[in-house]
Amino acid sequence: MAVTDSTIQRYTHSDPDVRLMLRVREDDAAAFEELMLRYQNRVVSLLGHLVGKRDLAEDLAQDVFLRVYRSRKRYVPGSKFSTWLFTIANNVASNALRTLSRRKEVHVAPRPNESGALSIDGSFAAASALMPTRQLDKAELRQLVQDSLVVLNDRQRMAVLLAKFECLNYNEIGEIMEMSPQAIKSLLSRAREKLRETLEPYFNGEAKGTQTL
């Protein structure tokens, strides 16, 4: 899609990261390092939640930045820099997840049980056994929330993470995931419904033992 001059100017003016990337395009190593420092934690966090393994997430993040470098000469500021960066991250993550699923190596605990249904045993069982006699403590809540992501499929998880952590709007998420804003709206709605179904019992004291979803 052709990007108009006015769009370029708008993003160049409004987004300091776009300006940094334009310097990278001119082979400015310091600008690249600056961009890395700004985004590395965010990219690794995102990929970590997607693939479930810290070391793999770091490897993939390195790949993301390598692709940023390799694409520098073709870079045109048609959107916010973060949108462009997370588009690359989404591609890298999708490829990795495809490979991993072929090798059945995705470990976003807990795993599907044999019946194919997700049985959230681990922390959920532990937490539910305690409910409703007391509130979840911070660590339990964190583990519970982390584990809850497993109920989402890869696309839902990506959309949730981009919306939650990167505060991107539906247009931007759609751009990254190559979907329409309306499709993102549906995707996020279904994702959040799943999360609500999974987590709300623990907040409302409605737990009834191990949850089978």
Partner 1 sequence: MTPSSSNLDDSLREELVAYLDGELPPAESEAIERRIASDPAARRELEGFDRVWNALDELPRQQVDETFTKSTIEMTALAAEREAAALTAALPIAKRRRSYAVAMGCTLAAAVAFLGAWGAAARPNRELVSNLPVIEHFDELRAIKDFDFLSTLHTQVGQELTVDNAELETQVADWDQTSQASYSQRVERVQQLSPDQQAVLASQASRFAALPPEQRTQLAELDRTIAADPKANELRSTVLGYHDWLNQPNFSPADRATIGRTEVNQIVRQIERDQNNDRWRLSAEEQEKLREVFAALKGSPELTRTPRELGDKFAELRAMAERNAERGTRRFEGPDQRGELQAAVDKSPTLQLMIVSRIATSNEVPPFFGRSQIEALRQQAQQDWNSIETKLLSALTAERAARLRERMSAEDRARLLVFATSQAVQQSQPRDFADFIADSDRVSDQQLQEYLALPRDQMLAELRQDFSSADLRNDDFGRFLRGMGRGRSGPFGGRGWFGGPGDRGPRDRGPENVQPRDGPPRNGPPPDRQFGGPGFDGPGGPPPPPGKEPL
Any idea of the CA torsion for 158, 146, 36, 7, to the nearest 10 degrees?
Answer: 30
Render 112-126 in DSSP notation, one character per residue. B-TTSSBEE-HHHHH
In whole angstroms, the minimum distance from the beta carbon of 94 to partner 1 comes to 20
Q: Which long-range contacts (CB under 8 A, 24 or more apart) does 179-187 make?
A: 184/159, 187/155, 187/156, 187/159
Q: Which of 9, 113, 153, 189 contacts partner 1 by CB under 8 A?
A: 189
Q: Which of 178, 180, 196, 209 contacts partner 1 by CB under 8 A?
A: 196
The answer to whether residue 169 forms part of the interface with partner 1 (CB under 8 A) is: yes
User: Which span sits near partner 1 by CB under 8 A: 8-16, 31-39, 80-88, 102-110?
Assistant: 31-39
Closer Cβ to partner 1, 178 or 193, answer by number: 193
Residue 58 and residue 68: Cα distance in Å, rounded?
15
Residue 138 and residue 144: Cα distance in Å, rounded?
10
The answer to whether residue 107 forms part of the interface with partner 1 (CB under 8 A) is: no
Q: Which two structure tokens, joined as six digits, stand for 90?
A: 């989404």
The answer to whether residue 162 forms part of the interface with partner 1 (CB under 8 A) is: no
Closer Cβ to partner 1, 31 or 106, answer by number: 31
Residue 44 and residue 85: Cα distance in Å, rounded?
12
Q: Classify residue 28 by burial, with Cβ atoms within 10 Å: 0-12, 13-18, 19+.
A: middle
In whole angstroms, the minimum distance from the beta carbon of 4 to partner 1 comes to 25
Residues engaged in binding partner 1 (CB under 8 A): 26-27, 29-30, 32-33, 36-37, 40-41, 44-45, 48-49, 54-55, 57-58, 61-62, 65-66, 69-70, 73, 138, 141-142, 145-146, 149, 160, 163-165, 169-170, 181, 185-186, 188-189, 192-193, 195-197, 199-200, 203, 206
